[in-house]
Structure 1
Amino acid sequence: MFKTILVPIDPAEPAFSKDALDKARQFSRDYDAKVLLLAVCPEVQSFVTSQLPEGFQEHELEETRTMLNGLRDKLDLGGSVVQVEARIGAVDAEVLEFAARHAVDLIVMTSHKPGFSTYFVGSHAAHIVRHAPCSVMVLRGD
Structure 2
Amino acid sequence: MPRETKLILCPVNLRHVKFEYHAYQEAVEMAQRRGAKLIVATVAPEIERNLNIYDSGQYWGDELKKFIASHPAEGVEIETVVCKGAVHRQIVKLATARKVDIIVMDAANPKVQDYLLGTTASHVVTHAECSVYVVRNPS
Taking structure 1 as the reference length, what is the TM-score of the superposition?
A: 0.78
Match of 1:83 among 79, 82, 88: 79
Using the alignment, how far apart are the partners of 2:85 and 2:114 within structure 1? Answer: 23
CA contact (8 A) 1:7 1:21 kept: yes
Using the alignment, how far apart are the partners of 1:8 and 1:32 within structure 2? Answer: 19
Deviation string 1:61-94 (CA, Å, 9 cap, x unpaired) is 223112211232323335x710001121111111
How much has 1:57 moved relative to structure 2?
4.8
Residue aligning to 1:25: 28
Return the letter of the residue paired with 1:8: P
Identity over the aligned pairs, expressed in percent? 27
How much has 1:5 moved relative to structure 2?
0.5
How much has 1:25 moved relative to structure 2?
1.1
Considering only CA atoms, is the larger Rg found in Structure 1 or Structure 2?
Answer: 1
CA contact (8 A) 1:5 1:35 kept: yes
Using the alignment, how far apart are the partners of 2:9 and 2:20 within structure 1? Answer: 12
How much has 1:17 moved relative to structure 2?
4.9
Match of 2:93 among 90, 94, 97: 97
Taking structure 2 as the reference length, what is the TM-score of the superposition?
A: 0.79
Q: How many residues align?
A: 130
How much has 1:135 moved relative to structure 2?
0.4
How much has 1:13 moved relative to structure 2?
1.1
How much has 1:16 moved relative to structure 2?
4.6
Change (3 A) 1:115 1:29: closer
What 5-or-longer segments of structure 2 have no aligned partner?
none
- 1:68 is paired with a residue whose SS is helix
When the two chains are superposed, the root-mean-square deviation of aligned CA atoms in Å is 2.6
Residue 7, structure 1, aligned to residue 10, structure 2: yes
Following TM superposition, the consecutive aligned residue runs of length 4 or more in structure 1 with deviations greater than 4 angstroms are none
Instruction: Map residues 1-142 of structure 1 onto 2, 5 A cutoff.
Output: 1-44=4-47, 52=51, 56-58=53-55, 60-73=56-69, 74-77=71-74, 81-112=77-108, 113=113, 115=115, 123-141=119-137, 142=139
Return the letter of the residue paired with 1:43: E
